[in-house]
Amino acid sequence: MKNIDNILQEIYKIDSSLKSKEAELKKIINFILESKPDVEINQEFINDLKNKLIGQFKPKPLGWFNAFNYKLAGSLIAIIVIAAAANLLISQFYQGNPLPEGKIIVKNQDGSVIIKTDDGGIMTKESAGGKIIAGFVKFSSEAEYKKYLENSEQNYYYGVGGGGEMAIDAMDMERTKTMALPDSAQNIAPAADRVSQTNVQVQGIDEPDILKTDGKEIYFSSSENRYYIEPMPMIDVETKSIMPPDYNQPKTHLIKAYPAQDLSQDSIIDKTGNLLLSDNILIVFEQRNIYGYDVSDPKKPSKKWTVELDEKNTLVQARLYGDKIYLITSTQASRYNPCVVPLFKAEGQQIAVACQDIYHPTMALATNINYHIATIDPGSGAMKKGVSFLGSYDSTIYMSKENIYVAYSYQGDYIKLMYELCKENSDLIPATVTDKIAKLLTYDISASSKQREYEVIFQDYLNSLSNDEQLKVQNEMQNRSADFFKERKRDLLKTDIVKINIKDFVINAMGTVPGQLLNQFSMDEYDGYLRLATTVGNGWFGFGSSIDQENDIYVLDKNLSLAGSIKGLGLDEKIYSARFIEDKGYLVTFRQTDPFYVLDLSNPAKPQMKGELKIPGYSAYLHPISKDRILGIGKEDSKVKVSLFDVADVSNPKEAAKYILDEYWSDILNTHHAFLLDSQHQVFFMPGSRGGYVFSYQGDKLSLKKAVSDISAKRALFINDYLYIVGDDKIVVLDENTWEQVNKLEIEN
């Protein structure tokens, strides 16, 4: 490629000695070029912004307009039906040596041995006394923790992660209970029969969002106004610094919502962020603080408690289930950090976990993040016991009514792969070399030391060859390794799943699947089984030869051992959305067209891909609207698209209806919380950049029932037959029977 050659020449001009490394440099440059993100600049956005800017020049931009041509992607529609055979490969997904009964022996760094079994998780040989119990390994000392992390830092590129279980007794924190406040007169409003909830993954488990309602009051956190109209900030050209703009300070609004004619702002809380509502307590998740406000008198919200996250502690996710708020936070694991990891400050009381109390994986690892799980009692702010364990980045959190699943991905074991590659090519790599690598695998040393040893072994071998032989080995191995890594794409990047029981905070299982998850919808628990959708083939080894991505479905049993799988969906495509509903799964992969897959998961040991539909564009969010209908929201030709999938015949999914909205963005593409379904009226709401939209899906047709312009729409909710479209600037109330606007309220910031 000419471009690469130019770049190489530029590099050589600076350092001619690099010429000898040309092959490597090429690979690096290629890799960076290949990793270039697909930037789709929306022409409409560009034009709109230009219009707005020109509008700043003169009151009316006369005669200035750019016609905008949408590029139509020429894609074909094909319907394919295949049934994939089930694969039962349990042990290969676990590190360590498989035993005949599916047990796996894992050797600890301290030489002790634990046994993983299919009926109880993990036990230590010493402590188990013949009984299988769950548990990982605690650090014995601060020194061990630091030593472990030192290795882990060097092992940045490979290794396995893991998890552990603990009960942080130190985190037990019962605060003085505040007495429940008497009901105020405000609450005598008529009660509503029908009240919408935030669109969440699991019914009954609430997820923090910017909008909550209890049927009487709307709680809404507005976002800051990023657009500068007047006055503009000044720029100091000398220092090239821009003075901070006068942002509209975002706030949380308490708005009397029902009856609709009484729509009015009750009060403002000068905190903003995602919200949860538990009885009379409004929980505000700010950057570093979590606040609990008593809102039983919405005119006078009063702060009851504050939980402050330590500056190094980051909120990963939160859920509200039953009478508890579940917090999943993470801290960077570093051997330079103090060995007591501070987590929270609550009313002056410091909550921390000693590093000896953090569980660590039992194997060589790439762990670099401590995950912490804790609960808050919404009424008092009291924090309860949690669990801490070491894991890796790229976490995805899913919570069912019984378990929290923390999943994170990491790179596979490369030395092992290289060993297998050498073994397969015994005509090129002599057994003496392969044996040395095999022996290396058994050494109880850190992965980085193994890497260095490996390099020495290989270098010695190459040096022993003549130049001609070297050339041959290099060329042959290059070709063969490309094929090898294509076959082993499932060993390159893996995802560990740690399953934590929410009753007692015991980690009762840990499992591993190939590939990487997209988001929380990539996981789902049903009937004791965990179903996962992963994309494989991306990762470090994509570097040298390009490996096509493909997508897999895994079904894991209650111990997170493999029950069944479907592999190789959507070659060269990646997952854009997934949704598991009872014994079915729906998957959208995308590169150019949008294959919509219907998965039959009724037999966990034999999941099947039942139907496939290829249509243009993609769906980024899937929502079931009835037993046989799935709504897909995504994009086609850079416009927002809604698809209604008919999945009544699983082997023959159809796109019953499609609607292309003249919008290039909807917040649903970013968060499922922006979506609202009202099945009674057979409508759903979508925010767009130019307003809010209400669609009807009645009679298998998608029609735009109502568009509300002139609102920076964010979310919607319904109370009885009133639909409230909530924007940063105002709330508009529609009567769902007539779709007339019945009220509106400007939100003052």
Q: Which of residues 526-565 bind other proteins (CB under 8 A)?
A: 535, 538-544, 549
Of the chain, the end-to-end C-alpha distance in Å amounts to: 55
Within residues 629-668, the interface with other proteins by CB under 8 A covers: 665
404 or 719: CB nearest other proteins: 404
**Quick one: tokens of 140?**
């014995």
- Establish if 40 lies at the interface with other proteins (CB under 8 A): yes
Helix/strand/coil for 491: helix
Return the residue of 5, 19, 33, 679 that touches other proteins, per CB under 8 A: 33
Angle subtended by helix axes 447-463 and 142-154, to nearest 10: 40
Residue choice 313, 330, 367, 720 for contact with other proteins (CB under 8 A): 330
Nearer to other proteins, 35 or 464 (CB): 35
Render the burial of 279-312: b for 16+ CB within 10 Å, e for the rest: ebbbbbbbeeebbbbbbbbbeebeebbbbbbbee
Nearer to other proteins, 29 or 86 (CB): 29
Contact 415, 437 (CB under 8 A): yes
Q: In the set 28, 82, 85, 704, which binds other proteins (CB under 8 A)?
A: 28
**Which residue, 25, 211, 213, is CA-closest to 713?**
211
**CB nearer other proteins, residue 321 or residue 541:** 541
Distance of alpha carbon 329 from alpha carbon 344, whole angstroms: 10
Tokens of 14: 């600076």
Report 363-392 residues binding other proteins (CB under 8 A).
368-369
* Residue 36 interacts with other proteins (CB under 8 A): yes or no: yes
500-519: contacts with other proteins (CB under 8 A)? 516, 518-519
Cα(304)–Cα(282) distance, rounded to whole angstroms?
10
Encoding tokens for residue 54?
A: 């020109």
One symbol per residue from 116 to 155: x for binding other proteins (CB under 8 A), - otherwise; what is it?
A: ----------------------------------------
Binding status of residue 1 toward other proteins by CB under 8 A: no
> Can residue 415 be called a binding residue for other proteins (CB under 8 A)?
yes
Rounded CA separation 281/214 (Å): 11
Residue 393 or 526 with smaller CB distance to other proteins: 393
Q: Mark the segment that binds other proteins (CB under 8 A) among 29-37, 165-173, 255-263, 717-725.
A: 29-37
Touching other proteins, residues 195-234 (CB under 8 A): 224, 226-229, 232-234
478/738 with CB nearer other proteins: 478
Instruction: Determine which residue in the list 314, 337, 546, 682 makes contact with other proteins, applying CB under 8 A.
Output: 314
- Which among 239-247, 254-262, 583-591, 699-707 is the span making contact with other proteins, rule CB under 8 A? 239-247
Q: Beginning with the edge strand found earlier in the chain, give each strand of the sheet holding 97-98 in spatial order.
A: 97-98, 104-107, 113-117, 121-124
* Cβ–Cβ under 8 Å, residues 552 and 593: no
451 lies in the binding site for other proteins (CB under 8 A): yes
54 binds other proteins (CB under 8 A): yes
Q: How many CB atoms lie within 10 A of CB 435?
A: 14
Q: Which residue has the tokens 């993470």?
A: 330
Instruction: Between 152 and 451, name the residue whose CB sits nearer to other proteins.
Output: 451
Of 63, 74, 111, 244, the residue at the interface with other proteins (CB under 8 A) is 244
Q: Which one of 168-176, 450-458, 672-680, 721-729 is the stretch in contact with other proteins (CB under 8 A)?
A: 450-458
Phi, then psi, of 10 in degrees rounded to 5: -60, -40
70 vs 156, beta carbon nearer other proteins: 156
* Window 260-279: residues binding other proteins (CB under 8 A): none
**What part of residues 568-627 is at the interface with other proteins (CB under 8 A)?**
574
Of the listed pieces 14-22, 100-108, 166-174, 380-388, which binds other proteins according to CB under 8 A? 14-22
Measured in residues, the chain has a length of: 749
Q: Interface with other proteins includes 418 (CB under 8 A)?
A: yes
The smaller minimum CB distance to other proteins, of residues 98 and 544, is found at: 544
Q: Which residues in the 669-708 window bind other proteins by CB under 8 A?
A: 670
Asked if 45 interacts with other proteins (CB under 8 A), we say yes
Pick from 202, 250, 39, 329: nearest CA to 672: 202
56 binds other proteins, rule: CB under 8 A: yes
Give which of 406, 612, 403 is closest to 526, Cα–Cα: 403
Shortest CB 553 distance to other proteins, Å: 18
| CB closer to other proteins, 173 vs 315 | 315
As a whole number of Å, the CA-based R_g of the chain is: 28
Of 1, 5, 19, 64, the one binding other proteins by CB under 8 A: 64
Write the DSSP assignment of 610-650 as a string of letters: EEEEEEESEEEEEEEEETTEEEEEEEETTEEEEEEEE-SST
Stretch 102-121: interaction string toward other proteins, x if CB under 8 A: --------------------
Which stretch, 86-94, 161-169, 478-486, 611-619, contacts other proteins (CB under 8 A)? Answer: 478-486
Taking a C-beta distance cutoff of 8 angstroms, is the pair 93, 511 a contact?
Answer: yes
Question: Nearest distance from residue 1's CB to other proteins, in Å?
Answer: 12
Cα gap 250→286, rounded to integer Å: 11
Q: Is residue 332 within the footprint of other proteins (CB under 8 A)?
A: yes
Minimum Å gap between C-beta 574 and other proteins is 5
Which of 148, 219, 414, 659 touches other proteins by CB under 8 A? 414
For other proteins, how many residues bind (rule: CB under 8 A)? Answer: 100
Q: Is 177 in the site for other proteins (CB under 8 A)?
A: no
At its nearest, how many Å lie between other proteins and the CB of residue 383? 20
Q: Please, which of residues 724-743 interact with other proteins by CB under 8 A?
A: none
> What phi and psi, each to the nearest 5 degrees, are found at residue 150?
-60, -45
25 in contact with other proteins (CB under 8 A) = yes
Touching other proteins, residues 339-368 (CB under 8 A): 368
621 forms bridges with which residues in the sheet?
633
Residue of 242, 571, 648, 704 that binds other proteins (CB under 8 A):
242
Concatenated DSSP letters of 394-453: S-EEEE-SSEEEEEEEEE--HHHHHHHHHHHTTTTS-HHHHHHHHHHHHS-S-HHHHHHH
> Is the alpha carbon torsion for 355, 360, 366, 367 positive or negative?
negative
How far is residue 44 from each of residues 345, 447, 495, 638, 658, measured CA to CA in Å? 47, 51, 39, 9, 21
Answer yes or no whether residue 316 interacts with other proteins by CB under 8 A: yes
DSSP 262: G
Task: Tell me the CA distances in angstroms from 90 to 99, 518, 556, one per residue in order.
Answer: 11, 23, 10
Evaluated on CA atoms 117, 122, 126, 127, the torsion sign reads negative
Does residue 41 bind other proteins (CB under 8 A)? yes
Q: How far is the CB of 147 from other proteins (least distance, A)?
A: 22
Q: Provide, rounded to whole angstroms, the least separation between the CB of residue 237 and other proteins.
A: 5
